[in-house]
Structure formats: C-alpha cells, structure tokens
Amino acid sequence: MTQQEALFNYSLRLGDNALVLAQRLCEWCGHGPVLEEDIAMSNMGLDLIGQSRGFYSYAALVEGKDRTEDDLAFLRNEREFFNRCMVEQPNYDFAATMMRSFLYGCLSYLQFRALTKSTDNTIAGLAEKSLKEVTYHVRHSSDWVIRLGDGTDESHQKAQTALDELWHFTNELFEMDESDEVLIKAGIACDLAALRNEWNAMIDEVLLKATLIKPSESGYQSKGGMKGMHTEHLGHLLSEMQFLPRAYPDAKW
C-alpha cells in the first residue's frame, strides 16, 4: 500500500466517523428533552459535519479522481463506509445518546490531540480545529453521564443499560490496519493502542462520579466497521441521509 492510498483511507475513515455521528445527533433536532439540549445536540452535530467536510475534501484531493466531498458523503453504500460501529448505533434514548458521545468523544479528543503533531500539515490543521470542538463535546457528554448515573433510580438504570450495550463496541475503537501502520511510520497518523490507557482513565474517572459499573473487558465485542462490515442500523441511516441527492442528482441549491 502506498502512502497516498493510506492517507486517502485514513482521511475517509475520519470523515465517516464524524458524518455518521453527526447524523445521529441531528436526529434529536426538535425532539430534545429540553430546548437548550435540543439546540446543543444539533450544534454538536453541525460541528461534526464540519469535521467530515474537512476530511472528505482532503480525501478527495488525495485520491485525485475528481470526486467531491458530496460524492463521498452521498454516493457510497454502507459497505463503502468505514466508520466505527459505535457511532452508527441508534438513539434508543437520551442516556444512550450521551453515553455514545462520551465513549467515542474521549477517544476522538485523544486522537485529535495527537494528530495536531502530525507531519501532514492538512491533517494537523484539521485536527487542531476539531480538537477545540470535541473538547466541548466530551465535557458536555461527561456532565450528562454523571447527572444521569448519579440521578434518579430510573436515570441510573438507563445510563447503566446504555453503558452495557455500547461497551460491546469499545474494542473496535482501537482497531488499526495497514493504512494506520503506513502513516504511523511516516509520522502522519497516531498509534491508537498508545491512547488506550489514557482513554480508560478518562472513562473510569467519569463512571466513578456517575456511580456506574464498568462492564467486563472479557465480554462479546463487535468489530468490522473499518472493513465495511456494519450493524443493520447504518443502511437505514444512509437511506434517509442520502435520499435527496440520489433522487435528484442534478439539484442545485
């Protein structure tokens, strides 16, 4: 694999993670538990859409096949998306949404912090901009995990259930492939395995305050997202997200 191919794959994957999670958060628009939170989740979704645009534009430039960010977002099927399976999980309830944002957001924060030192100036610049946004996302979701976990009996149970269900997707957050290996050697990408201890420390600190029990590391773990193998939920998400540009491919705004 050439460095150019690896860089395309890497940028595309970062864009996919951001776009799919953005779509999930924006599904809350008009349905939030309170007006302020409704707006907050929509704004975080917009942050993530901005991140996806940056990484998709760079992926298209690196690929050099005249595709655009819109082509990458709207004209690929689920087997051509390489996001982590966690970000595609549905909004079962508010606790699940906040727990998903928290678990993924902590890794995203650590990854972008490391990527600000990338030898690729574009990746470093995108990471620096994204880091400011995900820092807020982590703080916001952490506060809610603590409030829900250390709240009423009902909110505690919903938070614990969300943690138990989403924990099946945590190992995949740290999976890497040949693209990562090529770019790590070049100083472009970061080693996700090296971030795991700090990620666990961030998770443990919040779960302790939330009085939530961290699931066992030995349980079932899902994998395959970065190879295009997804849960059934991604196809439904894409069918809604991609309907308009596929139905009216020549539409201009």
Quick check: is 69 in a domain?
yes
In tens, the pLDDT along 164-219 reads: 999 999 999 999 999 999 999 999 999 999 999 999 999 999 999 999 999 987 77
d(CA 65, CA 88): 28
Domain that holds residue 118: 3-244
Quick check: is 74 in a domain?
yes
Quick check: is 225 in a domain?
yes
Cβ-contact 183, 236 below 8 angstroms:
no
CA distances in angstroms from 134 to 51, 58, 107, 141, 233, listed in the order given? 10, 20, 10, 10, 24
Q: Which residues contact 155 (CB under 8 A, 6 or more apart)?
A: 95, 147, 148, 149
Q: Which residues contact 197 (CB under 8 A, 6 or more apart)?
A: none
- Lowest mean per-residue pLDDT among 16-30, 32-46, 62-76: 32-46
Q: What percent of the chain has pLDDT over 90?
A: 89
Quick check: is 252 in a domain?
no
In tens, the pLDDT along 88-124 reads: 999 999 999 999 999 999 999 999 999 999 999 999 9
Supply the CATH number for residue 8's domain. Answer: 1.20.1260.10
Quick check: is 250 in a domain?
no
DSSP secondary structure of 163-211: HHHHGGGTGGGG---HHHHHHHHTTSS--GGGGHHHHHHHHHHHHHHTT
| Tally of structural domains, the chain | 1
Quick check: is 52 in a domain?
yes
**Considering the entire predicted model, what is its pTM?**
0.95
How confident is the prediction for the chain on average, in pLDDT?
Answer: 95
Checking if the pLDDT of 154 tops 80, the result is yes
Checking if the pLDDT of 58 tops 80, the result is yes
So what's the pLDDT on residue 197?
97
CA distances in angstroms from 150 to 103, 143, 153, 156, listed in the order given? 17, 11, 8, 6
- Lowest mean per-residue pLDDT among 21-25, 34-38, 137-141, 211-215: 34-38
